[in-house]
């Protein structure tokens, strides 16, 4: 179960997309909610061979505005929920400091936006989220930016799609996603994508020819068998679970097509999958899903073997 939930902010409405879901989960779990803003000092800038040092009051003024923003945001959440909200400002580089603070707090969950654009004149996330995903072993719930001027309303979590590639690494997502399902009462759908096999050189006017349909069917049957074994274990924990095997040109496309269905509120997957180092999902499947998804994605980097 979640005890400490960390929500990194940067002063922008983009980053605030994570607040409704982070706040709701902390309330359901009776967990401590922590807001974090990383102050990145204005460093010396090199230009045209000259060293340009910004005036000290410029950086101090930014930091003062950041502290006021954090305090106001925490107060608004506290008044809405009637529960305490902790807030922290640290100095350094955003990615490493978020990981450091998550470790210091022993955070069970980090809820953060996938992109941001700081109100304090800096670009955020994208690269920051990528750093956190690659270095943090705690679960991270990535929330796409809200469309429009205001943050999205507090979302319901009714059906969670769990992407599995039938590897042991992929199954490490099951513990945090089971905790999330128990907390929200969500149904779990275990999904595996069987990738199409095309015959080399066989192209018609309608496109490439799918080859060896018997092999594709055998792969589908085996995937269903393995998914059902995982589902049976989860059902013993009183979770509502179904399985689903879909066929796609590639894993990322198949997962995104399934996620687009209205019933799914979010997706969960690990950042490493089948064949270990031979198939790093960050940079391929997980990276494509995270960048293209319009719904929250729960990710976990498995600990080293």
Q: What is the CA radius of gyration of the chain?
A: 22
For 181, the token pair is 């399902």
Say how many Å lie between the first and final Cα of the chain, rounded.
Answer: 24
What number is the average pLDDT over the span 160-166?
96
105-126 mean pLDDT: 70
User: 84-117 burial, b for 16+ CB within 10 Å, e for fewer?
Assistant: ebebbbeeeebbebbbbbbeebebbbbbbbbbbb
Between 120 and 8, whose confidence is greater?
8
Q: Name the DSSP letter for residue 280.
A: B
Distance CA 147, CA 259 (A): 18
Q: Does residue 119 carry a pLDDT above 60?
A: no
> What is residue 248's predicted lDDT score, i.e. its pLDDT?
86
Alpha-helix runs per DSSP H in 108-212: 127-135, 174-184
Which stretch of 41-45, 132-136, 169-173, 271-275 has the lowest confidence by average pLDDT?
A: 41-45
Angle subtended at Cα 294 by Cα 1 and Cα 89, rounded to the nearest 5 degrees = 55
Contact at 8 Å (CB) between 211 and 198? yes
Phi/psi of residue 207, each to 5°? Answer: 125, -175
The two beta strands, 85-91 and 266-270, are unpaired
pLDDT tens across 194-219, in order? 987 655 555 555 554 555 678 888 98
**Confidence bin at 104 (pLDDT 50/70/90):** very high
Instruction: Indicate the pLDDT class of residue 92, thresholds 50, 70 and 90.
Output: very high
Query: Per residue in 12-50, pLDDT tens?
Result: 888 899 999 999 999 999 999 999 999 888 654 344 455
Give the count of beta carbons closer than 10 Å to the beta carbon of residue 72.
Answer: 11
Beta-carbon contacts of residue 265 (< 8 Å; ≥ 6 apart): 155, 156, 157, 158, 159, 160, 186, 295, 296
Domains of the chain by start residue, with CATH: 4-43+51-143 (3.40.50.620), 159-296 (3.40.50.620)
Query: Which pLDDT belongs to residue 201?
Result: 53
Query: Of all residues in the chain, what percent carry a pLDDT higher than 70?
Result: 78
Q: Which of 38-42, 106-110, 248-252, 260-264 has the lowest mean pLDDT?
A: 38-42
Contact at 8 Å (CB) between 159 and 171? Answer: no
């Amino acid at each position: 179960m979640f005890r400490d939930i960390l929500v990194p902010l940067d002063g922008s409405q983009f980053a605030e997309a994570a607040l409704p879901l982070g706040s709701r989960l902390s309330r359901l779990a009776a967990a401590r909610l922590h807001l974090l803003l990383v102050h990145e000092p204005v460093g010396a800038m090199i230009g045209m061979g000259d060293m340009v040092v910004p005036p000290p009051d410029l950086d101090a003024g930014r930091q003062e505005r950041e502290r006021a923003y954090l305090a106001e945001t925490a107060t608004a959440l506290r008044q809405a929920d009637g529960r305490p909200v902790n807030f922290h400002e640290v100095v350094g580089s955003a990615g490493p400091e978020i990981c450091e603070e998550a470790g210091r707090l022993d955070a069970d969950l980090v809820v953060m936006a996938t992109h941001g654009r700081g109100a304090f004149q800096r670009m955020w996330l994208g690269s920051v989220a990528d750093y956190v995903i690659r270095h943090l072993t705690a679960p991270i719930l990535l929330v796409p930016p809200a469309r429009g001027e205001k943050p999205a309303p507090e979302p319901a979590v009714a059906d969670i799609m769990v992407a599995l590639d039938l590897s042991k690494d992929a199954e490490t997502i099951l513990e945090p996603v089971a905790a999330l399902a128990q907390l929200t009462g969500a149904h779990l759908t275990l999904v595996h994508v069987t990738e199409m096999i095309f015959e080399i050189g066989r192209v018609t006017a309608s496109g490439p020819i799918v080859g060896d349909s018997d092999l594709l069917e055998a792969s589908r049957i085996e995937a269903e068998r393995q998914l059902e074994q995982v589902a049976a274990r989860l059902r013993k924990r009183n979770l509502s679970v179904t399985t689903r095997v879909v066929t796609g040109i590639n894993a990322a496309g198949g997962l995104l097509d399934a996620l687009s269905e209205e019933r799914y509120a979010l997706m969960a997957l690990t950042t490493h999958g089948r064949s270990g180092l031979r198939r790093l999902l960050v940079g391929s499947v997980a990276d494509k899903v995270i960048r293209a998804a319009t719904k929250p994605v729960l990710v976990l980097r498995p600990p080293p073997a």
